[in-house]
Chains A and B, each alone.
Chain A
Amino acid sequence: MATDRRSARRARLIGRAFIYGALIALAAFYLMPLWVMIVTSLKSLDEIYSGSFIGMPQAVTFEAWGKAWSTACIGTKCEGLQPYFVNSLMMVIPAVILSSGIGAINGYVLTKWRFRGSNIVFGMLLFGCFLPFQAVLLPMAQVLGRLGLAGSIPGLVLVHTVYGIAFTTLFFRNYFITIPDELTKAAQIDGAGFFRIFFSIMLPAALPIIVVSCIWQFTQIWNDFLFGVSFTAGESSPVTVALNNIVNVTMGRKQYNVDMASAMIAAIPTLVVYVVAGRYFVRGLTAGAVKG
């Protein structure tokens, strides 16, 4: 008995060691590029150009971080990423709210108010997300021009909303389908209308999937470069366009340390969203998105 228990315990111990070992090894692999980026951002440029790319810095300096935030030149304006950060926020917040809101109500209609052809509508919406964006730039520009929204943040918000609907609708539809129809039917009998049911029954129940949809949209929109560079200009550019202008030097000298610091600064909002909301993310997915 005693030996049995001991060997069982040993087997469990080996199992745990394997699990932790594997998880830590994977974590090390995943952190490798981040390590390179952090280390590089703390080096002086001369040190990097003398051939030190991956190793530890000889002298740690935070110069690159300060420069990336407030003095790096983006075109002839040398104010760092700061002002573009604001642009991105002004773009990403309405775009996330709009696309998630529309996705929520679409998902609601497509599950609780089904009509003939509603599945076809859903299929059509979903197929839209596989359209290569490089192909839509010019016609989209024409449409924005006609609407008077060319080169502006509202125009960019519109574009992100249009191309975000597919995924947000997918998320909410797959979530709402798990809410029993009886619930809405009962509410209808009680005299609740279309919007009443949506706002007082569906939305409160949808919190987890709202988090998922917002995280996904936030990441996609915040990191977008293609639409940003095409549909805004100059001072209304989002942070990725500014980041590109810092990083993508062709004929001049690349400032790798500032590049890396800028990239990490530009990623802070998404990182915060992931870390803070990461728990809800998994919970939200558990609650619905993965149930087809």
Chain B
Amino acid sequence: MRRPLTFKDRLAALLPKLVLSPSILAVSVGVYLFIVWTAAISFSSSKMMPRFDFVGLDQYVRLWSTPRWITAVENLFLFTALFLAVTIAIGLFMAILLDQKIRAEGVLRAIYLYPMALSFIVTGTAWKWIMNPTLGVQKVVNDLGWTSFTFDWITRPEVAIYCVVIAAVWQSTGFAMAIFLAGLRGIDNSIIKAAQIEGAGLTRIYLAIIVPMLRPAFLSVIVLLSYISIKSFDLVLALTNAGPGSATEMPSTFMFSATFLRNQMGVGAASAMMMLMTVAAIIVPYLYSELKEDRNGH
């Protein structure tokens, strides 16, 4: 026989939702209400401070007629693709090497991880010098006797974005490495042994067996790196300040300068909305598939 629900029972049933509600409230305001706010601004004529009138799609038209914005969008895709690919490749490589029972693993791990700890306001300056042809790597190599060596990407608008990629990879590989390393440690060693007994080479074992088993690690890395890539702001400002010309402009720097430097808040809001829509187009299907799987499985 069932006893009637007491107040305590009802409270207990509500408790999980109650506990979750502050977060829902915070995110509703801090994310979704502000998205609505930004959308409203993007349809307004706001310049220096927010103004809530309606000018239709004017700001979007203006945004897409701005060459710097086009550059920023192209850069974001190029940067994200390269940044993810290179960071994942090197991070995985490092993790596999570190997983071979290496002496001084702790030291090496710390060396690969430390860039995450430093603020880019200053490491940007160090990279700027390293990449400067008359101060950095090029000069050192030239002085060593290889006089035809050139590394002047940072001065050339068409390739300067690769310099940003290099610095970004430097900063984030340690993190990717840590996640992959964790994934590798989670894999049973006997799998490798068994494959070895069957005569498979080490390279093949990794490519065909281990890497596919790291799928969850890949997904975590991809989410975190995409987050870093979209947020890359300090990095660009400190390293190239979006130059030479506007060759390394990114959506985040574009948005900042439109809103706070050029008194084009409407354009800035429009660019924020474009960015959000892009992110949504990529992330929402991913989340959907992940969470759907979760509903069926587990």
Contact = CB atoms under 8 A, between A and B. Distances in A.
Direct contact between A and B judged by beta carbons closer than 8 A: yes
Interface of A: 16, 19-20, 22-23, 26-27, 29-34, 36-37, 40, 53-54, 102, 105-106, 109-110, 113, 115, 119, 121-136, 138-140, 143, 159, 161-163, 165-166, 169-170, 174, 177, 193-194, 219, 223, 225-226, 240, 243-244, 247-248, 256, 259-260, 262-264, 266-267, 270-271, 273-275, 278-279, 281-287, 289-292
A249 to B, nearest CB: 12
B194 interface: no
Nearest to A174: B220
A207 to B, nearest CB: 15
B102 to A, nearest CB: 7
A270 B116 CA distance: 9
A274 B280 contact: no
Most chain B CB within 10 A, of A31, A134, A285, is at: A134
Given A278-B110, A289-B179, A267 B288 contact: no
Contacts of B244: none
Interface stretch (B59-67, B155-163, B182-190): B182-190
B6 interface: no
A185 B33 CA distance: 37
B241 to A, nearest CB: 11
A135 B122 contact: no
A102 to B, nearest CB: 6
Nearest to A35: B126
Interface in B239-266: 251-252, 255-256, 259
Contacts of B29: 143, 162
A290 B113 contact: no
Contact of A135 (B94, B179, B255, B288): B255
Contacts of B93: 22
B119 A32 contact: no
A124 B119 CA distance: 29
A139 B298 CA distance: 40
Nearest to A279: B106
Given A123-B288, A134-B233, A263 B216 contact: no
Given A124-B27, A128-B31, A193 B284 contact: no
Given A132-B231, A134-B252, A243-B121, A105 B19 contact: yes
Contacts of B178: 281-282, 285
Interface in B95-114: 97-98, 100, 102, 106, 108-114
B230 A130 contact: yes
Contacts of B294: 119, 177
B291 A274 contact: no
A194 B16 contact: yes
21 contacts: A16-B100, A23-B102, A29-B170, A53-B136, A109-B16, A109-B17, A109-B20, A123-B291, A127-B284, A130-B230, A132-B252, A132-B255, A139-B38, A165-B23, A194-B19, A226-B233, A259-B122, A270-B116, A274-B117, A283-B182, A285-B181
Nearest to B100: A19
Given A54-B135, A194-B16, A267-B119, A30 B216 contact: no
A244 to B, nearest CB: 6
B2 interface: no
B144 interface: no
B20 A119 contact: no
B78 interface: no
Given A33-B127, A263-B121, 9 more contacts: A105-B19, A119-B294, A130-B283, A131-B35, A132-B255, A134-B256, A138-B50, A271-B114, A283-B182
Interface of B: 12, 15-17, 19-20, 22-24, 26-27, 29-35, 37-38, 50, 90, 93-94, 97-98, 100, 102, 106, 108-119, 121-123, 125-127, 129-130, 132, 135-136, 139-140, 170, 173-174, 178-179, 181-183, 185-186, 215-217, 219-220, 223, 226-227, 230-231, 233-234, 251-252, 255-256, 259, 268-269, 272, 275-276, 279-280, 283-284, 287-288, 290-291, 294-295, 298
Contact of A53 (B15, B23, B129, B284): B129
B184 to A, nearest CB: 9
B70 to A, nearest CB: 18
Nearest to B17: A115
B118 A263 contact: yes
A130 B90 CA distance: 25
B84 to A, nearest CB: 15
B122 A225 contact: no
Given A121-B20, A128-B27, A138-B50, A27 B287 contact: no
Nearest to B112: A30
A33 B238 CA distance: 14
Given A267-B117, A282-B185, A247 B122 contact: yes
Contacts of B256: 134
B115 A219 contact: no
Contacts of A162: 26-27, 29-30
A36 B54 CA distance: 52
A240 to B, nearest CB: 6
A173 B113 CA distance: 25
Contacts of B268: 134-135
B38 A135 contact: yes
A226 B17 CA distance: 33
B112 A37 contact: no
